[in-house]
Amino acid sequence: MGARERLEAGPSARLRIGFFGVFYPGSERAGSFSTSLVWELARSSRVERVHVYGPTGARRPDGGDPRRLAVEEAWAADDPLSLLRALARMWRARRTTDAYLFSIYVTAFGRRSIANVVGLLLPPILRIAARRPVFVYMHNFLETQDSETLGFRVGRLTKTGVRLLERTLIALTRVVVPLRSMQTVVEREVGGRVEVLLLPYLEALFAATRPGVAPASSMAAPPLPPLRVLLFGYWGPQKDLTGALDVLGGLAAEGCPLDVTVAGEANPGFPEYRERLERAKGSLPVERFHFVGRVDEEEVFPLVRRHHLLLLPYRATGGISGVMNVGALADLDLLAYDVPQLREFSGRSGHGSGSCPPVTPRPFGRQSSPRSPGGLPEGGKRTCSRSTWRRPAPGSNGSSTGWCRRVVRSKSGPDRPGTTSRTSSSPRSGAGSRPRGSARPPASR
């Protein structure tokens, strides 16, 4: 049966998919999303097999069925020639491939402009040359990002060139984005038609469902106190790590029983953030603040589950937040800066309400209501379990962005001691439940 017949045969046909993107054990450049997406596709009854064209170092995870999941190292970041060789490999496999799927974004191919130009041309060229359907899950477009906040200065000529590449991509392939606001911006500023597919929880599915993973109940955070707080990311200008640590350091100095984990590495493209990370390590008490560096993909979900609160100090996002996805699946409470894409993603995915108002700065632990943030619990014992996160002073490490509370209800129903309370009267649909769909999308941490 040929590719066209398979696609038209409906539920009886099992598809053969060629996949391009960062893959296990890589987690950068939407790698965690891609790994989970492929993992779910390879287990689907509608899919015969998935062939992954991954970057250098990519391999099949332990437990993956070699008959249904093949992985080859086909390209390298910042290497345009390797991208062209990957294109040739995908073209040669066209007779045994029914459709191609890309999980990419505008800078998914490295930091060199030429690599990203070549990378963005791969899907439309493959569509023309192989005459197979090509689907592109675009985690972001240039127009959907605050480039300067993310650390990039984009000139007018570059913008014009990228827009031409994006228009070609949209015109010749089937493009999908995770958020409706992204669809609106792209269709207005780039032109053409893109579709929306939000895949909540996808970021964490591989780590949570792979063979041999411990049951969720065995990974629960230990009892309070202390309040175990996690910051997890690829640290650079888009995340206000130093501002968050300033606030947490101040709370710890006031006697708040905190235990803080900082996971992830500094983005090598921004050396000054590596220096900031090192300075933070030396300035905070080691018994309260733990810097664990890079976390292997299999350990991400267990690490998140061992905490009570996930902090998301984004100044801007490059798409949706993979870390927010993991935190929601692990059923942590989430606290984030008020960033529009985080708010939309949170509301549409069922992680919480779509509103994320800034917190009014107040002295910690002084409110009278036992159920209010920073309040005193019954019995009058002072606690940090419902702390108000104070807005850092303007000018302190650029951390003047207001904190806001994001609430995710715990599995037990009522708010647990030591977690934030819901900021909206709109209940979270399916609180504490497992994913409502089998697969979902992208986003780098």
Tokens at 45, concatenated: 């009854």
Looking at the structure, tell me whether residues 294 and 239 fall in a common domain.
yes
**Of the candidates 139, 171, 197, which is a domain's last residue?**
197
pTM, full prediction: 0.74
Q: Is residue 289 part of a domain?
A: yes
> Please, is 141 exposed, middle or buried when counting C-beta atoms within 10 Å of its C-beta (0-12, 13-18, 19+)?
buried
Strand order in 289-293's β-sheet?
A: 289-293, 258-263, 227-232, 309-312, 333-337, 403-406
- Give me the pLDDT at residue 31, please: 85
Looking at the structure, tell me whether residues 253 and 355 fall in a common domain.
yes
Give the residue numbers spanning the domain of 165: 13-197
Q: Is residue 259 part of a domain?
A: yes
Looking at the structure, tell me whether residues 153 and 232 fall in a common domain.
no
Looking at the structure, tell me whether residues 177 and 221 fall in a common domain.
no
Tokens at 392, concatenated: 């850092």
- Give me the pLDDT at residue 214, please: 62
- Give me the pLDDT at residue 354, please: 31
Written as tens digits, the pLDDT of the chain (445 aa) is 455 555 555 555 799 999 999 999 887 778 888 999 999 999 999 999 999 999 999 999 988 899 999 999 999 999 999 999 999 999 999 999 999 999 999 989 998 999 999 999 999 999 999 999 999 999 999 888 877 766 677 788 888 999 999 999 999 999 999 999 999 999 999 999 999 998 877 777 787 777 666 655 556 677 778 899 999 988 888 888 888 898 899 888 888 899 999 998 888 878 888 888 888 888 899 999 999 998 887 788 888 889 999 998 888 877 778 888 888 888 888 888 888 888 888 777 666 533 333 332 222 222 222 222 332 223 323 333 333 333 333 333 333 223 333 322 222 233 332 333 332 323 233 333 333 333 333 334 4
Looking at the structure, tell me whether residues 185 and 253 fall in a common domain.
no
Looking at the structure, tell me whether residues 181 and 218 fall in a common domain.
no
- Give me the pLDDT at residue 207, please: 72
Looking at the structure, tell me whether residues 188 and 256 fall in a common domain.
no
Q: Is residue 37 part of a domain?
A: yes
**Of the candidates 145, 167, 197, which is a domain's last residue?**
197
Q: Is residue 325 part of a domain?
A: yes
Looking at the structure, tell me whether residues 40 and 146 fall in a common domain.
yes
- Give me the pLDDT at residue 16, please: 97
Looking at the structure, tell me whether residues 154 and 259 fall in a common domain.
no
CATH number of 140's domain: 3.40.50.2000
Tokens 């769909």 found at: 437
**Of the candidates 164, 197, 230, which is a domain's last residue?**
197
- Give me the pLDDT at residue 378, please: 30
- Give me the pLDDT at residue 189, please: 94
Helix-, strand-, coil-residue percentages of the chain, each rounded to 5: 35, 15, 50
Tokens 């606001």 found at: 181
Q: Is residue 428 part of a domain?
A: no
Contact between 238 and 317 under an 8 Å Cβ cutoff? The reply is yes
Q: Is residue 379 part of a domain?
A: yes
Looking at the structure, tell me whether residues 91 and 218 fall in a common domain.
no
Contact between 332 and 309 under an 8 Å Cβ cutoff? The reply is yes
In the chain, how many domains are there?
A: 2
Looking at the structure, tell me whether residues 354 and 225 fall in a common domain.
yes
Q: Is residue 202 part of a domain?
A: no
Q: Is residue 420 part of a domain?
A: no
Tell me how far the alpha carbon of residue 236 is from its chain's centroid.
15
Contact between 132 and 2 under an 8 Å Cβ cutoff? The reply is no
Looking at the structure, tell me whether residues 83 and 178 fall in a common domain.
yes
Contact between 346 and 354 under an 8 Å Cβ cutoff? The reply is yes
